């Protein structure tokens, strides 16, 4: 063969780029970038099928992007390109230029040799991806805190995730950190609202000042005011000492009002006044205190419905909801699960001086589960696995006895929604995939492109999978 190229999809840009070549100069190789579907290489990638061009000079699809074949004089040159595939997923394209032998029948033989080579390349590429992924997981967990200073840093970098959903959250954190704007964090329980509140504080100009949290759900109604604004000595029975409230403690720093939906209506009025006037009095006192506080609130409740029903004041709602940041449930960023598993394994192994690893099937099972308790549930699950594991490697068969029930429920849930083939490993994985696909589609209102984005796959892949699993909307959900 005259020339040969291995073109792979760059996960960052989504473009195809020549990674290795034979017979091309550095410059020519660098020019070899294609969009999916573009030119012969792009077509082979898109369709997953080989293409043979018997005579390069006569084919309009040939782009000559690299410029390596500008002076095509002399003998007839053919081009053969085969997909590099692993488990049905196309990773790239293997292409070669070959002098035309005069026998069109010889292409079949060439193609079968090239397909075998492409198979070997595919396995090597996959392996390379896996080790790169492991290295990234290690890097993440390497950033564990060693001392106080690092501890602070962790609150910024301690949010693990690579899904586009969490990347958007990172972007929002960086933007709001630069201002004093009031932020409201929304999201189901365990999605990381508190972690994000701390990250905003630690990346803001207030980082050196206190971060004060008030867990509104835990405060008895009659103590609310005193918790927020403090009290003077003798203000009420039991107030034997003067006590500063959270607003005073958070002066020049950040006040995080967690579970804001649990603030009683009477306190809501007072809170609103403080937010409007930036001043307050301690309970039982008449001296006015002026504070400079950045406010972040969080809730998993449907505040809008509470406003409608009168359980939450509308004016306070607008005061607090200046910039909302919504944390997606783990189900919608399932791509982050493997990363989070690695992160928490590292964390709890270190804490418990262990070196527990999870088998591939176990990780796959966990990656396919819907985690109703979100990241917190996943974290608890890993902590328990690390603490209870008998040996360093935990597999489906050696799950610690105390966790058996939990995992068999997980398997059950992952399987429901599927009525076939759940007994073999591939069947199990398929059922997980089908289940997840269906949920993503439901959440996206069956808009395929939206569901594909949430899952981090291409529109083409989702279309294929929908056909494969014969997925259709439930008639009930459409009515
Ligand atoms: N993206 C993430 N990366 C690493 N750890 C995370 C991430 N998200 C959440 N966690 C961890 O999961 C646990 C739950 O997070 P957090 O307490 O912030 O959730 P929450 O949204 O406040 O939940 P709740 O509404 O139940 O209070 C914490 O231990 C947190 O450190
Ligand atoms: Mg919380």
> Could you report the per-residue pLDDT of 214-236, keeping only the tens digit for each?
999 888 888 899 999 999 998 88
How confident is the model at residue 421, as a pLDDT? 32
Lowest mean per-residue pLDDT among 109-123, 149-163, 209-223, 275-289: 149-163
Q: List beta partners, residue 180.
A: none
Atom 29 of ligand 1: nearest residue by CA position = 376
Report whether residue 328 contacts ligand 1, using a CB cutoff of 6 Å.
Answer: no
Is the confidence at residue 151, as pLDDT, over 60?
no
Ligand 1 touching residue 190 (CB < 6 A): yes
Q: What digits encode the pLDDT tens for the residues 153-196?
A: 333 458 998 888 888 899 999 999 999 999 999 999 999 999 99
Cα of 64 from ligand 2 centre, angstroms? 57
Q: Confidence class of residue 429 from pLDDT cuts 50, 70 and 90?
A: low
**Which atom of ligand 1 approaches the CA of 191 most closely?**
21
The residue with greater pLDDT, 151 or 442, is 442
pLDDT more than 90, % of the chain: 46
Q: What is the pLDDT of residue 292?
A: 93
Q: Give the closest residue (by CA) to ligand 1 atom 9.
A: 192
Ligand 1 touching residue 213 (CB < 6 A): no
Tell me, what's the pLDDT at 137? Answer: 56
Task: Quote the ligand 2 centre to 337 CA distance (angstroms).
Answer: 20
In this prediction, residue 74 carries a pLDDT of 67
Please give the pLDDT value at position 149. 34
**Res. 307: pLDDT tops 50:** yes
Q: Which atom of ligand 1 is nearest to the CA of 160?
A: 3
- CB-CB contact of 319 with 116 (8 Å): no
Q: Which residue CA neighbors atom 25 of ligand 1 most closely?
A: 189
Give the range among 61-65, 102-106, 364-368, 415-419 with minimum mean pLDDT.
415-419
Which residue of 190, 325, 336, 384 sits with most ligand 1 atoms within 8 Å of its CB, as the best mutation to test the pocket? 190
420, pLDDT greater than 60: no
Could you tell me where the DSSP H helices lie in 11-102? 26-30, 39-47
In whole angstroms, give the CA distance from residue 28 to residue 417.
51
Rounded distance from Cα 394 to ligand 1 centre (Å): 25
Q: How far is the C-alpha of 455 from the C-alpha of 439, rounded, in Å?
A: 10
Indicate which ligand has the atom closest to the C-alpha of 258: 2
- Decide: 194 in ligand 1 pocket, CB within 6 A: yes
Q: What's the whole-number mean pLDDT along residues 137-161? A: 48
- Given pLDDT bands bounded at 50, 70 and 90, which one contains residue 414? low
81 three-state secondary structure: strand
Is 56 within 8 Å of 79 (Cβ atoms)? yes
Model pLDDT for residues 99-108, shown as the tens digit of each residue: 877 777 788 8
Q: Tell me if 31 sits within 8 A of 66, measured CB to CB.
A: yes
Looking at ligand 1, which residue's alpha carbon is closest to its atom 13? 376
pLDDT value of position 150:
35
Token output for 63? 């782009």
- Asked whether residue 18 carries a pLDDT value surpassing 80, the answer given is yes
In this predicted structure, the answer to whether residue 200 has a pLDDT above a threshold of 90 is yes
Which residue would you say has higher pLDDT here, 125 or 363? 363
Q: Which domains does the chain have, with CATH numbers?
A: 3-139 (3.30.450.40), 148-326 (3.40.50.300), 331-478 (1.10.8.60)
**Confidence bin at 59 (pLDDT 50/70/90):** confident
State in Å: Cα 194 to ligand 2 middle: 5
The rounded Å distance from CA 289 to ligand 1 centre is: 34
356 vs 238: which has the higher pLDDT: 356
Q: Which residue intervals of 48-203 are DSSP H helices?
A: 106-142, 148-157, 164-177, 193-202
What's the chain's average pLDDT?
84
Say if CB 271 and CB 316 are below 8 A apart.
Answer: yes
- When mean pLDDT is compared across 20-24, 401-405, 429-433, 448-452, the lowest value belongs to 429-433
Q: In this predicted structure, which of 223-227, 317-321, 409-413 has the lowest mean pLDDT?
A: 409-413
Predicted pLDDT of residue 183: 97
**Does the structure show a pLDDT above 70 at 279?**
yes
Q: In sequence order, what are the beta bridge partners of 332?
A: none
**Residue 281 CB burial class (10 angstroms; 0-12, 13-18, ≥19):** middle
Ligand approaching nearest to the C-alpha of 186: 1
Q: Quick one: CA dihedral 380, 382, 387, 388, positive or negative?
A: positive
26 CA to centre of ligand 2 in angstroms:
53
Q: 379: Cβ below 6 Å to ligand 1?
A: yes
């Amino acid at each position: 063969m005259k020339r040969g190229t291995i073109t792979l999809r760059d996960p960052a840009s989504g473009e195809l780029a020549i990674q290795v070549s034979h017979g091309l100069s550095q410059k020519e190789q660098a020019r070899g970038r294609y969009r999916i579907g573009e030119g012969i290489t792009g077509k082979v990638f898109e369709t997953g099928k080989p293409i043979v061009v018997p005579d390069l000079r006569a084919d309009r699809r040939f782009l000559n992007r690299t410029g390596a074949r500008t002076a095509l004089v002399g003998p007839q040159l053919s081009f053969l390109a085969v997909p590099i595939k692993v488990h049905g997923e196309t990773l790239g394209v293997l292409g070669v230029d070959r002098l035309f032998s005069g026998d069109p029948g010889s292409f079949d033989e060439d193609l079968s040799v090239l397909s075998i080579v492409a198979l070997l390349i595919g396995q090597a590429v996959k392996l390379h991806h896996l080790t790169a992924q492991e290295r990234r997981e290690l890097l993440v967990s390497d950033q564990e805190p060693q001392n106080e200073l690092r501890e602070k840093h962790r609150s910024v970098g301690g949010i693990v995730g690579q899904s586009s959903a969490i990347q958007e959250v990172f972007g929002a954190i960086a933007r709001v950190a630069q201002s004093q704007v009031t932020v409201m964090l929304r999201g189901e329980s365990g999605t990381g609202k508190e972690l994000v509140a701390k990250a905003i504080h630690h990346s803001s100009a207030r980082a050196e000042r206190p971060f004060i949290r008030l867990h509104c759900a835990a405060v008895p109604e009659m103590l609310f005011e005193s918790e927020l604004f403090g009290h003077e000595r003798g203000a009420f029975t039991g107030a034997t000492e003067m006590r500063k409230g959270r607003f005073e403690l958070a002066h020049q720093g950040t006040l995080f009002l967690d579970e804001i939906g649990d603030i009683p209506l009477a306190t809501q009025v007072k809170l609103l006044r403080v937010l409007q006037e930036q001043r307050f009095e301690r309970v039982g006192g008449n001296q006015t205190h002026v504070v400079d506080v950045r406010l972040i609130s969080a809730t998993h409740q449907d505040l809008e419905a509470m406003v409608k029903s009168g359980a939450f004041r509308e004016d306070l709602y607008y005061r607090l909801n200046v910039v909302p940041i919504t944390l997606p449930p783990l189900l919608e960023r399932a791509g982050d699960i493997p990363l989070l598993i690695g992160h928490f394994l590292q964390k709890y192994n270190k804490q418990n001086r262990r070196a527990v690893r999870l088998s591939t099937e176990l990780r796959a099972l966990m990656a396919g589960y819907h985690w109703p308790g979100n990241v917190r549930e996943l974290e608890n699950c890993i902590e328990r696995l690390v603490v209870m594991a008998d040996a360093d490697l935990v597999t489906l068969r050696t799950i610690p006895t105390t966790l058996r029930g939990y995992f068999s429920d997980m398997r059950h849930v992952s399987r429901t929604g599927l009525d076939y083939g759940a007994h073999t490993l591939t069947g199990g994985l398929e059922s997980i995939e089908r289940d997840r696909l269906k949920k993503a589609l439901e959440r996206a209102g069956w808009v395929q492109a939206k569901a594909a984005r949430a899952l981090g796959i291409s529109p083409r892949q989702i279309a294929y999978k929908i056909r494969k699993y014969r997925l259709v909307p439930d008639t009930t959900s459409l009515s």
